Amino acid sequence: MTVNKPSMAPDLSDIDDEAPDLSESPWLERFSAAPVRSGRPKSQKTKVSTTIRLDEDVIDAFRRDGPGWQSRINSALREWLEMRK
């Protein structure tokens, strides 16, 4: 026999009657005028998504230092390019 779990639905019986109706003026105008921003801001220098095959020990060494390992690989490649000049 299975046991019924208690309901996880929120109790809406104590809704505040003093809360403004956000579907009416002036809220409607405010919401429609607000800029919609999603995600993080665009960088001045966009990057290109690519696939590259590297040795496992190279990847492990960069990952070992924590988050940002892909940026560190990018920096290492940039340094190598500068040394070639």
Measured CA angle at 49 (ends 46, 53), to 5 deg: 140
Taken in order 70, 73, 79, 85, the sign of the CA dihedral is: negative
Q: What is the pLDDT of residue 75?
A: 96
Distance CA 61, CA 65 (A): 7
Which residues, 6 or more positions from 22, have their beta carbon under 8 angstroms from its beta carbon? 28, 31
Q: Is the pLDDT of residue 1 over 70?
A: no
Distance of CA 5 to the CA centre of its chain: 34
Q: What is the mean pLDDT of residues 71-84?
A: 96
Q: How do residues 15-72 score in pLDDT, each as one tens digit? A: 666 777 777 788 888 888 888 888 888 888 888 999 999 999 999 999 999 999 999 9
